[in-house]
Amino acid sequence: MPLGLVLRRLSQVLDAAESRAERRFTSELVGVVPDLRRFALSLTRNATESEDLVQFTLLKAWEFRVKFEPGTRLKAWLFTILRNGYLNARIKRRREVPDPAGSYAAGLCSLADQEHRLDVRDMQVALGRLDPAQREALLLVAVEDLSYEAAAARIGCPPGTVKSRVSRARNRLAAELGEA
């Protein structure tokens, strides 16, 4: 929105203001605009940025007009708002990563993980349906990465029994998860 249009709209709103203090604030606010524009241009060295900065300052000043203490210097208050707005914008820009083509932003997206969560939940349900002896043997061999002999020693049965339990558990899981 061009600064001239903002000033006209601001003037219209201010003209509708009822209190004398607001009318005085408004007339002083509009009177300082040329100085604000010069100050903003000296800071930004860019006409478009300076116009945006002046608009920001006017909007902030109007928003917080009740905090302005009558009898103090409005121009100094407005210059402070403008300078702080400029500094905050610089800090923000310093932290931003230039990405005109959008390639950096495209690399930041993450794929939806709903399907993965459903797969994990299905696996948990299927594991819960296994015979406890088969589940124990499968978890020792597949999750804890124990050898059949080490799993057999922990369970207290022959290695051949562990092999058959793991085999049956894998077949049942594959059938339940639709991979058979």
pLDDT tens per residue, range 34-44:
999 999 999 99
Which pLDDT value is given to residue 93?
84
Query: Mean pLDDT across the chain, nearest whole number?
Result: 86
The confidence band for 15, taking pLDDT boundaries of 50, 70 and 90, is low
**Residue 2: pLDDT above 90?**
no
Measured between alpha carbons, how far is 80 from 128 in angstroms, rounded to an integer?
66
CA angle (107, 109, 115) in 5-degree steps:
130
Which domains does the chain carry?
3-96 (1.10.1740.10), 117-176 (1.10.10.10)
Contacts of 61 by beta carbon, 8 Å cutoff, 6+ apart: 29, 68, 77, 78, 81
Please write the tens of the pLDDT for every residue from 66-121: 888 888 899 999 999 999 999 999 988 888 777 788 777 777 766 666 666 677 78
Backbone angles phi, psi at 53, to 5 degrees: -65, -40
Please write the tens of the pLDDT for every residue from 115-151: 666 777 888 888 889 899 999 999 899 888 899 999 9
Which pLDDT value is given to residue 149?
94
Give the percent of the chain with pLDDT over 70: 89
Cα-based distances in Å from 118 to 67, 86, 112, 174 = 55, 49, 12, 16
What's the sign of the alpha-carbon dihedral 37, 42, 47, 48? negative
Measured between alpha carbons, how far is 166 from 150 in angstroms, rounded to an integer?
14
Whether the CB-CB separation of 52 and 36 falls below 8 Å is answered with no
Token pair belonging to 128: 């819960």
Token pair belonging to 87: 């500094």
| DSSP H or E segment with residue 38 | helix 20-44
The confidence band for 157, taking pLDDT boundaries of 50, 70 and 90, is very high
Whether the CB-CB separation of 123 and 174 falls below 8 Å is answered with no
